[in-house]
């Protein structure tokens, strides 16, 4: 035993919970303002963060970051912090769809051991977009998929709105880079909040169980959630 039988104990400590990063890549191009798409996305992310914050689990500490891409650049709209400490600020839209810039920013974030220590769980990455990128994104995606964390992260993608074309879904498929997982089309905008309810359940399951197997990720339940 660590402590001899008769020496008084100083102050026992417990290990900090293991971080479980959830990173949303949010398309904030001008078209997202139509059909309440951006409004619904903001509400969905905020609801998800509140559910994460209410989750008390010793195994994993859920942390959230949001990368916004619109105009001619991508910004870290919300740096990675524990959900319990996060006050959400709504995303605002405008301009084009610079996906490549968003992927670069994401890869840098994932590779930064100051932000995501090596003990962290594999991040869940969720790409939300309503159309095709208009910068050169292929090289940036290759870099993401070649990075240690980007390669092994749980990558999900959702296409919002009725204007999504086959080619746009192809981009989302390339991001997921896993034939077993399909991008989720969300034609009616209220289904976006259901999609995020499923993401919330999936992530809390991972945090509770402390493991990231397909059972915990729960793809088989996604259809139930989308209704």
Partner 1 sequence: MSNSLVVRDEYGRVLPLIRKIGSGGQAEVWASEGRIAVKRMHSHTPRTARRLRSRIDVVRRLDLDGVPVARPMDLLASPDTGYTMELLEEMVAIQRLAAPPSGADVLGWYAETGGLRRRLRLLARAADALASLHAKGVVYADPSPANIMVSASARHEEVRLVDVDLLHTESAPLEIGGTPGYAAPELRAERSGVTCSSDAYAFAVITFEVLSLLHPFLGEQVEDGEPEMLQLAYDAKLPWIDHTTDRSNRTPYGMPRTAVLAPDLITLARRTFQDTVNSPRSRPAVAEWRTALHAAADMTLTCVACPQAYHVRRDECPWCGTPAPDPLIAVVHFVLPGQDEPVSAREVLAVSPADELPIMPRTAYTDAAEYDPVPAAWVCWEEGRLLTVRAGRLPLWLTPDRDPANAVVVEASDQLTVPADGAAPGWTLHFGPPGEPRRLLRFFRVRREGR
CB of 86 to partner 1, least distance (A): 15
Q: Which is nearer to partner 1, 140 or 184 (CB)?
A: 184
CB of 96 to partner 1, least distance (A): 36
Residue with tokens 């359940």: 201
Q: Which is nearer to partner 1, 77 or 155 (CB)?
A: 155
Residue with tokens 């509770």: 208
Is residue 139 packed enough to be buried (19+ CB in 10 Å), middle (13-18) or exposed (0-12)?
A: exposed
Q: Which is nearer to partner 1, 118 or 166 (CB)?
A: 118
Alpha-carbon distance 43 to 192, whole Å? 10
CB of 115 to partner 1, least distance (A): 16
CB of 214 to partner 1, least distance (A): 11
Helix, strand, coil % over all residues of the chain, rounded to 5: 45, 20, 35
CB of 220 to partner 1, least distance (A): 8
CA dihedral (95, 98, 101, 102) in degrees, to 10, reads 90
Binding site for partner 1 (CB under 8 A): 1-3, 5-6, 8-9, 11-18, 56, 58-59, 61, 118-122, 194, 201, 204-205, 208-212, 215-216, 218, 220-221, 224-225, 227
CA angle 192, 215, 24 (to 5 degrees): 35
For 116, 118, 140, the CA distances from 48, given in Å and listed in that order, are 21, 25, 28
Q: Which residues pair with residue 218 across a beta bridge?
A: none
Q: Which is nearer to partner 1, 58 or 81 (CB)?
A: 58
Q: Which is nearer to partner 1, 12 or 179 (CB)?
A: 12
């Amino acid at each position: 035993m660590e402590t001899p039988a008769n020496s008084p104990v100083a102050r026992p400590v417990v290990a900090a919970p293991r971080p479980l990063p959830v990173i949303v890549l949010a398309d904030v191009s001008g078209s997202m303002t139509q059909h309440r798409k951006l409004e619904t996305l903001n509400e969905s992310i905020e609801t998800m963060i509140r559910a994460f914050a209410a989750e008390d689990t010793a195994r994993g500490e859920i942390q959230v970051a949001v990368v916004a891409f619109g105009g001619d650049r991508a910004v870290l709209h919300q740096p990675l912090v524990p959900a319990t400490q996060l006050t959400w600020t709504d995303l605002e839209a405008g301009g084009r769809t610079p996906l490549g810039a968003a992927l670069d920013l994401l890869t840098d974030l994932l590779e930064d051991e100051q932000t995501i220590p090596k003990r962290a769980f594999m991040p869940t990455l969720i790409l939300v977009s309503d159309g095709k990128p208009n910068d050169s994104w292929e090289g940036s995606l290759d870099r993401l998929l070649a990075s240690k964390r980007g390669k092994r992260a749980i990558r999900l993608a959702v296409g919002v709105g009725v204007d999504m074309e086959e080619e746009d879904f192809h981009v989302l498929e390339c991001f997921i880079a896993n034939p077993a997982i399909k991008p989720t089309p969300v034609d009616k905008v209220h289904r976006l909040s259901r999609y995020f309810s499923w993401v919330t359940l999936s992530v809390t399951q991972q945090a509770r169980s402390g493991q990231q197997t397909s059972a915990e990720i729960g793809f088989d339940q996604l259809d139930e959630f989308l209704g």
